[in-house]
């Protein structure tokens, strides 16, 4: 499975702490090699669907403060995960 980042997500990753970037890279590697189902099975990421304006998207927890928001997409035969944002979550 392929993982693509929006330009917003790329800019956000350049500004966040290194340990968060490393955890996100671990998730990307897991999705790329093992698939999204395997990544969702890891309890530490707390993968969950979103509501409201983000309905149709999912989020993973990278730390108590940071999360990544993504959406599964189908582009012809290619199944991919498109990461919209990696940001500090407002609680």
- State which residues form the domain around 31: 2-88
pTM for the full model?
A: 0.90
pLDDT one-digit tens code per residue, 13-71:
999 999 999 999 999 999 999 999 999 999 999 999 999 999 999 999 999 999 999 99
Split into its structural domains, the chain has a count of 1
Distance (Å, rounded) from C-alpha 65 to C-alpha 82?
21
- Give the pLDDT of residue 78: 67
Query: Is-contact 61 72, C-beta < 8 A?
Result: no
- The burial of 28, by beta-carbon neighbours within 10 Å (0-12 exposed, 13-18 middle, 19 or more buried), is given as middle
Alpha-carbon distances, residue 48 vs 17, 25, 43, 69 (angstroms):
23, 19, 11, 10
Q: What is the pLDDT averaged over residues 82-91?
A: 84
Distance (Å, rounded) from C-alpha 91 to C-alpha 83?
21
CATH of the domain at 67: 3.30.2310.20
């Amino acid at each position: 499975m392929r993982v693509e980042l929006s330009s917003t997500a790329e800019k956000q990753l350049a500004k966040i702490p290194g340990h968060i970037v490393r955890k996100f890279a671990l998730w990307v590697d897991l999705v790329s090699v093992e698939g999204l189902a395997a990544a969702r099975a890891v309890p530490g990421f707390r993968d969950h669907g979103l509501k409201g304006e983000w309905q149709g998207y999912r989020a993973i927890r990278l730390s108590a403060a940071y999360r990544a928001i993504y959406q599964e997409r189908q582009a012809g035969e290619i199944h991919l995960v498109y990461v919209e944002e990696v940001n500090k979550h407002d609680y």
